Amino acid sequence: MSQLSDLLDPSAILLDAPAQDWRAAIRLSGDLLVSTGATDDAYTEAMIGTVEEHGPYIVLTPGFALAHSRPDDSVHRTALSFVRLAEPVPFGHSANDPVTLVMALAAADTSAHQAALAALAGVLADPEGRRALDTATTSAEVLTALGADSPAAGTTTSAATPSAAAATADDPTASAAPEGREPAAVDPDAVPSKHLILTVCGNGLGTSLFLKNTAEQVLDRWGWSSYLDIQATDTISAKGRATDSDVILTSGAIAETLGDVGVPVQVIENFTSQSEIDAALRRVYAV
């Protein structure tokens, strides 16, 4: 099985479940983690508290929320759960509401789940992969959509890594990558690059990694990956490190929390959209 589906126990998948509001939706996903022994109830409450503190930044692409909190003693192992809601539920996100899919991430440390989240971002960015999650009728079909080994997994797995052309189909201008040349200051008032981009979320280990993964794909397409480093971090660390970076990429809710940090803060609505991040980085680097 793929690393992503390895983290999702079949018994931690719940389809077409009713939820009155976003708190109930997160509790459903948290209860699944508890039932598999991955977490305690305290972690579920921490996931809800994260949204109460930082806003609905966990709704990182239309209709999809990634509930999570910081690693602590209530997390026993790294794991995921998957809930598809019977009816869409608003989380308070201005662009990506309402939510129909909620996944909960319990991370035992800050690194073990990074490859899995990169794979999940690929599934969500691909229309066929997302459609498979929206229409799955069994836990096995959900796991197949997420890359589990099965007779049907071949097409799903390849679809989970969309090509640059597919990822930018909604924005034809994004395909014109400035390949093969180092970022250059074209504005007379521009300052030298610090060669660092920060992607920021409340905890630095969930949605910021989604954003980091998509931004890296944009830089790969541009041919700039060797010139710029992208690091995922949390709001507290971002405030201290902001002036060492060229730009911060984050959600609207986190941008409000950060305030004026002395460098450009680009708000990204869809964390799996290469075209949106492409446009944001073009604004910053004047390309």
Beta strands 64-68 and 59-61, pairing class? antiparallel
Residue 36 half-sphere exposure toward CB, CA atoms < 13 A: 24
DSSP structure class, residue 205: S
Place of tokens 């014109």: 176
Active-site annotation holder among 54, 68, 93, 113: 68
- Give me the phi and psi of 223, to 5 degrees please: 85, 25
- Give me the phi and psi of 56, to 5 degrees please: -85, 40
Rounded distance, CA 28 to CA 62, Å? Answer: 20
68 tagged catalytic? yes
Place of tokens 């691909």: 126
Please provide the distance, in angstroms rounded to a whole number, between the alpha carbons at the two ends of the chain.
Answer: 41
Rounded distance, CA 173 to CA 229, Å? Answer: 24
Rounded distance, CA 92 to CA 115, Å? Answer: 29
Rounded distance, CA 55 to CA 91, Å? Answer: 9
Catalytic residues: 68
